[in-house]
Amino acid sequence: MKIQALIVSLALLFSHFCLPLQQSFAQGNADLTDSQAFFEKTVQPPKYKNYEPQIEALLKKMTVEEKVGQMTELEIGVVTNGFGNNVQIDPAKLEKAIIQYKVGSILNVPGHALTVDKWWEIVGAIQAASAKTRLKIPNIYGVDSIHGANYVQGATLFPQEIGMAATWNPYLVQKSQEITAMETRAAALPWAYSPNLDLGRQPTWGRYWETYGEDPYLATVLGTAFVRGLEGTNVADDKHVASCPKHYLAYSFPFSGRDRTNAILSETELREYYLPPYEAAFKAGARSVMINSAAINGIPGHINKHLITDVLKGELKFDGFVVSDWQDIQKLVTQWKVAKNEKEATMIAINAGIDMSMVPQTYTFSDNLIALVKEKKVPMTRIDDAVRRILRVKFQLGLFENPMPNPAVKNNFGKPEYAQVSLEAARESLVLLKNENSILPLAKNKKVLVTGPTADSLISLNNGWTWVWQGSEKSLYPKDKLTIQQAIKDKLGEKNFQFVQGTEITLPPGKTSFEGTPAMFDREVDVNKAVDAAKKSDVVVLCLGEGSYAETPGNMVDLTLPEIQLNFAEKIIATGKPVVLVMAQGRPRLINRIADKVSGILLAMNPSDMGGVAIADVLFGDYNPNGKLPFTYPRHPHNYLMYDYRTFEVEETSYGNSATNPQFYFGDGLSYTTFAYSDLKLSSKSIPATGEVTVSFKITNTGKRAGKETAILYLRDEVASIAPPGKRVKRFAKVSLIPGESKTITFRLNKNDLSFIGTNHKPIVEAGDFTVMIGNLKDTFTVK
């Protein structure tokens, strides 16, 4: 019996480590047994040297013009000529910006991503010019490092935030951002405009894929991991950069669904849902913040003094600096019509609390603000507060001591091990949503047709902010990264593989990516050829979804997949061959016409350059999928009910039009093994309002393969003075289990978890019953 037990144990270990699951257990991929424990560790802010004496001494020396220069941010085209890697500093333009106007910050990329050496050339010239100014204050260069150092050629890319949310793995988020920080700083760039901490609760919004999904707790945990990854514990070292959470606040929930339009939200909702990720990021030490380009209840974000000065700088004690978004002070005149001219707009915005204006193409902001100070329409105390904050971050970044990093930091760029982290993130981001009759994993001896518009597209795997703003320039993508069809071909070989394009997503006729054009134009290529090939195959891998888009160009009036794609899918399905649908996209495109007719559905939310390999690994069983939906996947247009809906938001099901019938539910995600939940225990059935309750339960791998499971704890307040949600995420854990293995997970819930924002805009805990839900288990305790 002992020998038999030993054989079983060895077999379990073999299945865990040696079967072709390729489960990587590299740093950043350890078990997460308590999301809150991870959060409480990462939210601890670094302790910086006290630079206040130096800051105050410098402030006393500065003229009004020098102070306003620090508050001015211009884009790279203002000081250069040329495009891409042919860009060159224009000495006369640079002298005007840095010497004459004393500009303290430059941003952006000249058309598309630059090489590391070109970045050094450009940033070096700017810092050299800054060193010639009277006070030698260094420049701070800002860039959009959104899913990797995506404006540095050859950088390592990771899944977009919506894909990282599907991993439910803050370790991977932090590790990915440590790499992003190293590769950004390796290009002499010290400041990244990320993370996006907006919530994804409006999928027609063009920046949905830049979010961590619809739940504020998940966004809080992952967002804090992102900040810690970028900034580390010493943002001045050559491996880290300053973060810039954006877009404070509630930018992502426009009432119209259109980018940069008005949100209609009460302050109670703002504080309950939209503020927590930002509050946590600031506690973690985020050094800057970018403001909402839209409006809340008709008040543009850039003049919302209550949110910027009273809440952000006062209540939350944020001591970094506040930067506008692109042209947003000018848009107070042209778009929002709240100021009659740019000078008045500048006065309102700066007095509301904006510290730095991303102007970014003229000197009008500087001229106007200098005049406003001299006219005493903007007090010097407000100017000094702004400049003090900007100088503080420059000191903390180490820019006064080393405006340019040590050239040795270039060695931190493009290390081979980074690709493995990217691959692991891509794998964990994939969500298996349907696996009828265990169609997956596919056998490698089957004849497989791969077809569809996203099958041969790195653009679809990455989306916007990839080498160019819209991510739509195919020529800039690396040649050594595999698309879905290339990765499947690499796995199967020529004999059992065929690829036919079918339809494609491309730029509209006559347009180029460098005009800021998204890749959202569908057209047929060789549909009949694909249908004929399907008839001769054993199984079809049908790849649908989206191309690329960013910001306003990504606005959408209907989430339904384009008719060209749906018609093509129906023709493939009509062949009678089993179809596995792979959806490569940045938001939940509606598939109700075809979802019930395919055998399998694998969701790939912009998994990055390594997404093709990751998808092939999952389809053919070389990796066991473990992603979970971080959003509710709607079935119908105009039915975007979130998982935490309130009871009154759902009509009687007897009418046959229930709003609680999504295509897939928040938290859905299948595996090639099975898991069972058991032994739910509460430490107490009754606690005081200031008390804690410990929740424990067991997860067992009841299947035949090693795998990972994300356990999500939901809590419901049964009765409250403000109508309570049906449930809210309060904790999660992600654990690896070999067949037959069990692990006991323990969470502690405290008053913060029991509270909600009351009518006085403060957290409140009310007496009553609370229900804990995990898997198929539930139990209740009472707060007295």
The pLDDT score that the predictor gives to residue 651 is: 61
Amino acid at 719: V
pLDDT in tens, 2-46: 333 333 333 333 333 333 333 333 344 579 999 999 999 999 999
pLDDT in tens, 165-221: 999 999 999 999 999 999 999 999 999 999 999 999 999 999 999 999 999 999 999
Q: Tell how far CA 246 is from the center of its chain.
A: 11
User: Are 201 and 218 within 8 A, CB to CB?
Assistant: no
Give the Å distances, CA to CA, from 732 to 28, 230, 527, 669, 748: 17, 23, 44, 15, 11
pLDDT in tens, 307-316: 999 999 999 9
pLDDT in tens, 674-699: 999 999 999 999 999 999 999 999 99
The pLDDT score that the predictor gives to residue 305 is: 98
* The pLDDT of residue 408 is above 60: yes
Please count the other Cβ atoms lying within 10 Å of the Cβ belonging to residue 637. Answer: 13
Q: Do strands 497-500 and 503-506 pair parallel, antiparallel, or not at all (unpaired)?
A: unpaired
Please report where in the chains the tokens 């009277």 appear, as a residue. Answer: 134
- Of the residues 198, 238, 259, 325, only one is catalytic, namely 325
- The whole-angstrom separation of Cα 404 and Cα 187 is 10
Task: Assign 657 a pLDDT band (cuts: 50, 70, 90).
Answer: low
Please report where in the chains the tokens 């004999």 appear, as a residue. Answer: 495
Prediction pTM value? 0.95
Rounded to an integer, the average pLDDT of 70-88 is: 97
Q: Which of 323, 313, 343 is nearest to 105 (CA)?
A: 323
The pLDDT score that the predictor gives to residue 512 is: 85
User: Are 355 and 388 within 8 A, CB to CB?
Assistant: no
Task: Assign 88 a pLDDT band (cuts: 50, 70, 90).
Answer: very high
Helices (H), 18-81: 35-42, 52-61, 64-70
Phi, psi at 384, each rounded to 5°: -65, -40
How many CA within 13 A on the CB side of residue 290? Answer: 26
Active site residue 259: no
Phi, psi at 483, each rounded to 5°: -75, 175
* The pLDDT of residue 655 is above 70: no
Looking at the chain, how many residues does it have? Answer: 784
pLDDT in tens, 223-268: 999 999 999 999 999 999 999 999 999 999 999 999 999 999 999 9
User: Are 535 and 451 within 8 A, CB to CB?
Assistant: no
Three-class SS state of 756: strand
Please report where in the chains the tokens 């800002």 appear, as a residue. Answer: 142
The DSSP element (H or E) to which 230 belongs, if any, is helix 216-231
The pLDDT score that the predictor gives to residue 644 is: 96
pLDDT in tens, 559-595: 999 999 999 999 999 999 999 999 999 999 999 999 9
> What is the rounded radius of gyration, in angstroms, for the C-alpha atoms of the chain?
26
Q: What are the residues facing 773 on neighbouring strands?
A: 714, 778
User: Are 116 and 186 within 8 A, CB to CB?
Assistant: yes
Q: Tell how far CA 118 is from the center of its chain.
A: 27
Phi, psi at 232, each rounded to 5°: 60, -150
Task: Assign 652 a pLDDT band (cuts: 50, 70, 90).
Answer: low
Please count the other Cβ atoms lying within 10 Å of the Cβ belonging to residue 577. Answer: 17
- The whole-angstrom separation of Cα 769 and Cα 477 is 54
Amino acid at 501: Q
User: Are 168 and 177 within 8 A, CB to CB?
Assistant: no
Phi, psi at 11, each rounded to 5°: -65, -40
Average of per-residue pLDDT values in the chain: 94
